[in-house]
Structure 1
Amino acid sequence: MASFTIEKRELKSGELRYKATIFVKQQGRIIHRESKTFRKKELARTYGRNRISEIESQGVLKDKPVPLGVLLDKFILKENLWEKTGRTKRYVIQMLRDCDIARVLSDELRTSDLIEHCENRKKAGAAPATIYHDVAYLRSVMKKAKPVFDIKANPDIFEEAVPVLIEMGLVGKSQKRTRRPTDNELERLKEGLKDRQEFRSNGPTRIPFTDILDFSILTCMRIGEVCGLRWEDLNEEHKTVLVRDRKDPRKKEGNHMIVPLLGESFDIAMKQERRNDLIFPYNPRSVTAGFQRVRNSLGIKDLRYHDLRREGASRLFEKGYSIEEVAQVTGHRNLNILWQVYTQLYPHKLHEQY
């Protein structure tokens, strides 16, 4: 919905000026604001009426630059874009709306603006890998400015800016994690998780934390994948399960994959109660939250739930599976990433194979 106001201002010389400000609201939020000043009130009023008519007939932002905050808002309001946006990217985009860089016009973004933003984030304690997400996701939104919203923007500035930001050490890739839980840590975690599930057994939902922990390691699945497995996709004859929409940077949906349930993972799945369509009908966040509370209470440092995926892949390599066979379990299309990121072999295990 478009509207305008006229504000009267008096110059030091005593002359009067009339500022016409155009507002466009969507879902109760201002998504566009522009203004122009005139010597006469009637000229300002005529401009306001004509501009509103133009907006309603041609669209609010037809091939015009807007503050980056407005562009970010439009991205958020575009359902078929926002619904396909991951949780981390959503958080970053919403955070960027409150940063100084959001006031920069979409076609006037300069490398110096990005440097200033990254320096401010660094002063606030953000790591280079975290700041890189700001730059990457802002770039992603700006690339859609012209084709999706017909907004003038200059996303090509990132070609110049990113190498400079890397050279300055303001952005960078996250360090490769090599953390694997020790046998002692896993035993302590299982005891702690067992106590937690027994303590909460009287509640409406009893999460089998220890089963899910073992299943996550044996299958190398992400916790979201574990909690999304369906009974109808379980093949009891072949001891396999279909993992739907498995994460893939090149394909967001429809990346279904049949995965073998090795070792005891099949038995763990079969002993779950068939309460609904899901084998593990629990909120992934509740599972990781329980894991984190037990981990913290035990004083176990720097261990994330996702590290269990690396633990599972490394165990398969130590058992002698080939990289292609391990990829059938983990779902990796890029074998180089699987080898470099998801394996951390214990040298002493080589003695057992020898």
Structure 2
Amino acid sequence: MAYFVIDQRARADGTIRYKCTVRVKQKGRIVYSDHRTFSKLAPAESWAKKEVGQLESNGVPNPQAGVIPLRELIAIYIDDPHITFGRTKLYVLQLLADSDIGKINIIDIRSHHIVDHCKNRIQAGAGPSTVAHDVSYLRWCLKMAKPSYGYPVTELPVIESYELLHSQNLIGKSQRRSRRPTSNEIERLKVGLNERASKRAAHIPYVDLLDFSILSCMRVGEVCRIRWDDVDEAQKAVTVRDRKDPRKKAGNHMIVPLLGGAWELLQKQPRTEERVFPYNERSVAAGFQRVRNALDIEDLRYHDLRREGASRLFEKGYSIDEVAQVTGHRNINTLWQVYTELFPKRLHDKEL
């Protein structure tokens, strides 16, 4: 059955655009999707009704012909109720759909198109590790198109582009960070965050969140997902739900002990809602970033607080295995690197 939906969207400059999407479902699965964007509602409705009429009269184009651009394949993936996406993957897929490569028919995509896309992204200011996400998710799209929806394409164009992409440094691994905030920076951040909290109608306890993030070694999203029924009073621990794991996208729950004052910080929060910290993680991170920028604190990210927390645990004498129980690292090589940077002389000391 063919149908259409129209979404109203506001651009950064405040102008309104109307994205009209036409789809066809068969046996609960989306087998066709196309969209156009208009500046006015009436043309959007007119185009949609015309497209729906043609689909009802002529039927769905044969998917074996591969007559859809990449952006429409991505739209089908995004609308598929059987596929779930993390925030990063969804963002990258939408970026691919809106870029020049998104306009190319999927059967016409070649390695040089991928190289051109990566060059354009680098020229726009993206780093090699960021562009590598584009290539990875593009490969996933092409690889899954045939078994999922019958489109006769493969991931071969992406595979063929890898050697050149690496040799020209268009894609690469992210730089390992070692940034730790100084005591002075943390104190300045707390003053700035307190001031910001006092001026906001919707009060967010930024300082409690900052301290809890450091002491618990949790990501801001993990902190904001903790529910009161996840709290284990007997063990002074919490269940962290869906903890990030590259091998497991969902259901990766872990019981994490709250150490060094984290338990006391949790207990002081008001029990007025289901979540302990019932705030939008993006609002928390954005508030931190604005205060950091206002204080001219350079190259410090909210995620660096997680490393700071792990470093403090090492400095208190906890072993790598014990710290991993708090941070949730499955691969302890990351923690080993943190440990060796903190104590580079540990082997020399054993000779004394």
TM-score, normalised on structure 2? 0.79
Q: Hey, what does 2:34 align to over in structure 1?
A: 31
Q: CA 1:32–1:285 in structure 2 vs 1: closer, same or farther (change >3 Å)?
A: closer
1:230 to 227, 246, 252: 227
| Pair 1:72-2:74 in alignment | yes
Alpha carbons of structure 1 residues 266 and 55: separation in structure 2 relative to 1, 3 Å = farther
How far off its partner does 1:198 sit? 2.8
* Distance in 2, Cα, partners of 1:117 & 1:290: 33
Partner of 1:36: none
**1:122 equivalent in alignment to 2:125:** no
Alpha-carbon distance in structure 2 between the residues aligned to 1:138 and 1:55: 31
CA spacing shift, 1:25–1:273, aligned 2, 3 Å:
closer
Distance 2:57 2:301 in 1: 54
Q: Give the C-alpha shift of residue 199 in structure 1.
A: 3.2
Give how far 1:170 is off: 1.1
How many corresponding residue pairs?
308
SS across alignment from 2:239: strand
Q: Quote the residue 1:271 is aligned against.
A: 268
2:286 pairs, out of 289, 306, 310, with: 289
Unmatched runs of 5 consecutive residues or more in structure 1 = 4-23, 34-50
Render the CA deviation track for 1:126-160: whole Å, top value 9, x for unaligned: 22112111111111111210111111112122222
**Secondary structure at 1:241 match in 2:** strand
- Shift in Å, 1:349: 10
Residues 259-318 of structure 1: CA distance to partner in whole angstroms, max 9, x if unpaired? 000011000101110011111111111111111111111111111101000111111122
CA gap 1:25/1:71 in 2 versus in 1, 3 angstroms: same
Change (3 A) 1:155 1:213: same
Instruction: Quote the residue 1:173 is aligned against.
Output: 173
Distance 2:135 2:273 in 1: 42
CA contact (8 A) 1:211 1:268 kept: yes
Name the amino acid aligned to 2:215.
L
Please report how far the alpha carbon of residue 343 of structure 1 lies from its aligned counterpart in structure 2 after TM superposition.
5.7
Q: Distance in 2 between matches of 1:2 and 1:297?
A: 51
CA contact (8 A) 1:227 1:284 kept: yes
Q: Confirm or deny: 8 A CA contact 2:220 2:281 kept in the other structure.
A: yes
Is the Cα–Cα contact under 8 Å of residues 146 and 154 in structure 2 kept in the other structure? Answer: no
Q: CA-to-partner distance for each residue in 1:178-227, whole Å, 9 max, x for gaps?
A: 11100110111111112222333xx2x32111111111001100011111
Residue 313 of structure 1 pairs with residue 310 of structure 2: yes
- Structure 1 pair 54–339 and aligned structure 2 pair: CA distance change class (3 A): farther
On the 8 A contact 1:109/1:154 being kept in 2, the answer is no
Task: Provide closer, same or farther for how the CA distance between residues 32 and 188 of structure 1 changes in structure 2, counting only shifts above 3 A.
Answer: closer
Q: TM-score scaled to structure 1, two decimals?
A: 0.79
Task: Tell me the equivalent position of 1:62.
Answer: 63
Structural RMSD (CA): 2.9
Q: What secondary structure is seen at the aligned counterpart in 1 of 2:22?
A: strand
How many Å separate the matches in 1 of 2:160 and 2:265?
52
Shift of 1:61: 3.9
Whichever of the two has the greater Rg, that structure is 1
Q: Using a 3 Å threshold, how does the CA distance of structure 1 residues 64 and 175 change in structure 2: closer, same or farther?
A: same
CA contact (8 A) 1:61 1:151 kept: no
How many angstroms apart in 1 are the aligned matches of 2:62 and 2:266? 53
Cα distance, 1:30 vs structure 2: 5.8
CA spacing shift, 1:343–1:92, aligned 2, 3 Å: farther
3-state SS in 2 of match to 1:153: coil
Of 305-314 and 191-200, deviating more is: 191-200
Query: Do the aligned residues in 1 keep the contact of 2:227 with 2:274 (CA within 8 Å)?
Result: yes
Residues 55 and 290 of structure 1: CA distance in aligned 2, closer, same or farther (over 3 Å): same
Contact 2:101 2:113 in 1 (8 A): yes
Unaligned runs of 5+ in 2: 4-20, 25-31, 37-53, 347-351
Letter matched to residue 62 of structure 1: P
Report if aligned partners of 1:311, 1:343 keep a CA contact under 8 Å in 2. no
Mapped contact 1:128–1:172 kept (Cα < 8 A): yes
Q: Distance in 1 between matches of 2:304 and 2:58?
A: 52
Matches of 2:173 and 2:79, distance apart in 1:
30
Distance in 1, matches of 2:192 and 2:212, equals 17
Q: Distance in 2 between matches of 1:69 and 1:99?
A: 9
Residues 314 and 344 in structure 1, CA contact (< 8 A), matched pair in contact too: no
CA drift at 1:80: 2.7
Supply the AA of the counterpart residue of 2:137. Y
